[in-house]
Structure 1
Amino acid sequence: MEGLLRQPEWRIIDQSAVGIHFQALQSFGTDDTLCASVGAGEAPATARTWVHHNTVVLGIQDTRLPFLQEGLQYLAEQGYQPIVRNSGGLAVVLDEGVLNISLIFPEAAKGIDINRGYDAMWQLVQQMFSDFPQSIEAREIIGSYCPGSYDLSIGGKKFAGISQRRLKRGVAVQIYLCVNGSGEKRAELVREFYQLAKKDEQTKFVYPEVVPEVMASLSDLLGVELTIADVMLRLLQQLKAHSDYLYAGQLNEFELSLFSGYYQRVVDRNEKMAEMLK
C-alpha cells in the first residue's frame, strides 16, 4: 500500500471549485485521458479532485432497468441531471457536498492488483482523518446505494464508495466522499429512482434495496462541520507526505490532444439516454 501511494512526484489537478457549469461528462473523459497519459509515461502519477452539482451518475446496469424513463423523469423533476459513466457500478449522487478524488497510477511491469488499488485509497482516507478517534472500515454496507466490498463506513454508516477504471496501462482509483449535507436524503433520492425504474419487475441483475438510514456524511459521523476545502487541505498534506514533489497542474499538451476523443465517447454513450428524456 505504501508503495502505491509513494510516488516520486504527485501532480494535483484541482477541479473542486470550477462551478456549476462543469459537467460530469467532462470528468469521465478527463480521467480516461489521464489513464492513457500516465500509463504511457507522458505524465506523473496524478490526483484529480472534482465536485459536480446535482448529478446522478448511473452505471451501465442502471440503463437496463425496465422502466428507466420513469426513473430518469423523476430525477429531472428533482433538479438532478442523470448521466451514464463509462465503467461499472450503480447509481451515485453528486452534489456540492460530495468531493470526488481520482488517483491515477502508471501500471508497473507486474501490474497493480485490483485490491491493491482499493487498499491504497482506503489507506489514504484513513490517514487524512487520522486525528479523529473513529475507525474507518472498508466492507460492503447492505442497504447503501452502489454497494461494494470497499464501501467506507464509520459505525456501520457509509460515507464513501470506491471504484476503479483501467485503460492503456493506467489505473484510476476513484472515490466519492460525502463530506457534508444529508447522506440519508441522497439515499432517498436513489431509492425512489429504483422504485420507479424497476417497480416489482423481475430482473436478471439484482439492484440494491436502498435503506437511507445506513448512509451519512463525514461531517455527521465525525461530529465536525467539514467543508470541501477542509478535506482538500487534508488530501494535499497526505500527498505531500507520500512524494518528494507535489505540484498543481493542468492537462499537458499530450493530454489535450487526447481529451476530445475520450470525451466524445462519453457523450455518445449519453446521447441515447438524453433522447429518452425528451
Structure 2
Amino acid sequence: MKNWKEVVHHKEFRYLDHTEKKFFHGRDYTALTSFAVDDVLALSVAGADVNPALRLWVHPDTVVLGIPDSRLPYLEEGIRLLSDRGYKAVVRNSGGLAVPLDAGVLNISLILPDVSGISIHECYDAMVRFIQFMLRDVTSDIEAYEIIGSYCPGDYDLSIGGKKFAGISQRRVKDGAAIQIYLDVEGKGQERAQLIRDFYDVARKGEETKFDYPDINPIVMASLSELLGIKLTVDAVKERVEHALQEVSEAIVTDDFSGDELVQFKKRYEQMVKRNEKIRGME
C-alpha cells in the first residue's frame, strides 16, 4: 500500500467550501447538485500536471441512495416513508448504499488527478490517512474495516471501538477520481441508522432479492461527538480539515468554477436529474 505522499504528492490544492451554499449558478444546491459538481472536478483534474481538489459539503435531511437501492421491490413505499419524516431522496452516481445526511454530517470530497496508475484501494487509503491525520490530537483509535450491521457497509468504514462514524465511496471519471466520505460529526448515530433500517424494512418487506442489502443494527453506529465524548461541531471539523490541508500542502487556491467547468456542470447535472427521474414521482 502506498503512503499519502506517494498518492498525493502535489504541493498545491484547490479548496472549495460549499457547506453553506444554497444555490449554485442558478440551481438549488442539493445533494444532486453536489454529485454533479464532483464529476466536474474529477474531469477537471484529468491530467498529470493538474492539482488535486478538496471540497466540503453539507445537505440537510437527505437520504442518498445507491444504485442497488433504486431496485428495491417496494421502493416507492420507502421513498414515501422518508418523505413523511422530512427527508428528500437522491440516487447518487458513486458506489455504496443508503446514507442519511443532515446538518450534523460533514461530507468531504478528495479529487485526485492522474489515477490511472493508482488502485481504488490506494485512493480509499489516502482518505483514511487524511481523516486520521486531521483527528490525531483527539484520537489514535480510528480503524478502517467493515462494520457489520451498519448502513452502507464497506471495507473502508471508519470506526472507533467498533462503532462506525464514517463511510467512503469512490467514483472515477476518465483519469480523475472523487473519493467521498461522510462524517457523522454531531447528533445521534443510532437515530440515523434507525431511519435507514426503517427504510429497508418498508422498501424490501423481507423479500428475497438478488442484491444483499444490509441488516442494520443501530447500536453499531455513532457520531464522532458521541465516540470522543466531546462537543464536536461541523464548523470545528471544517477548521480541522483546512488546517490539515495547510499542513500537507504548500499552497491552497479557492478558484470558483471556470467557464469550461460550468459547461460540464450543466451536462453532469442533467445526467443526475435523469438518473433521479424514477424517484421524483414517488415522494
CA distance in 2, matches of 1:162, 1:177: 9
Q: How does 1:29-108 map to 2 (within 5 A)?
A: 29-40=36-47, 44-108=51-115
CA distance in 1, matches of 2:139, 2:53: 29
CA distance in 2, matches of 1:232, 1:133: 17
Q: Give the partner amino acid of 1:117.
A: C
Structure 2 unaligned blocks of 5 or more: none
1:176 aligns with 2:196: no
Preserved CA contact (<8 Å) 2:132 2:140: no
Q: Give the partner amino acid of 2:114.
A: E
Preserved CA contact (<8 Å) 2:50 2:113: no
Preserved CA contact (<8 Å) 2:40 2:268: yes
Q: How does 1:265-276 map to 2 (within 5 A)?
A: 265-276=271-282
Q: Give the partner amino acid of 2:168.
A: I
CA distance in 1, matches of 2:142, 2:131: 8
Aligned position for 1:137: 143
Aligned with 1:39: secondary structure? Answer: coil
Q: Specify which of 23, 33, 37 is matched with residue 30 of structure 2.
A: 23
1:152 aligns with 2:158: yes
Could you give the per-residue CA deviations for residues 68-119 of structure 1, whole angstroms, max 9, x where no partner exists?
A: 11111000000000110012210000000000000001125x5211111111
CA distance in 1, matches of 2:186, 2:32: 23
Q: Specify which of 221, 224, 227 is matched with residue 230 of structure 2.
A: 224
Total equivalences in the alignment:
276
Could you give the per-residue CA deviations for residues 104-141 of structure 1, whole angstroms, max 9, x where no partner exists?
A: 01125x52111111111000000111012440000000
Cα distance, 1:271 vs. partner? 1.1
Q: Give the partner amino acid of 2:106.
A: L
1:187 aligns with 2:193: yes
Preserved CA contact (<8 Å) 1:152 1:159: yes
CA distance in 2, matches of 1:213, 1:9: 41
Aligned position for 2:245: 239
**Please, what is the CA RMSD of the aligned residues?**
1.5
Aligned with 1:213: secondary structure? Answer: helix
Aligned position for 1:253: 259
Report the TM-score when normalising by structure 1: 0.96
Cα distance, 1:62 vs. partner? 0.3
Preserved CA contact (<8 Å) 1:42 1:254: no
Could you give the per-residue CA deviations for residues 204-243 of structure 1, whole angstroms, max 9, x where no partner exists?
A: 1110011111000001111111111111111111111111
Aligned with 2:29: secondary structure? Answer: coil
Aligned position for 2:11: 8
Preserved CA contact (<8 Å) 1:6 1:242: no
Structure 1 unaligned blocks of 5 or more: none
CA distance in 2, matches of 1:197, 1:217: 26
Is 16-25 or 6-15 further displaced after alignment? 16-25
Is 164-173 or 18-27 further displaced after alignment? 18-27
Preserved CA contact (<8 Å) 1:89 1:146: yes
Q: Specify which of 179, 196, 202 is matched with residue 196 of structure 1.
A: 202
Q: Give the partner amino acid of 1:2.
A: W
Preserved CA contact (<8 Å) 1:134 1:222: no
Cα distance, 1:47 vs. partner? 0.3
Report the TM-score when normalising by structure 2: 0.94
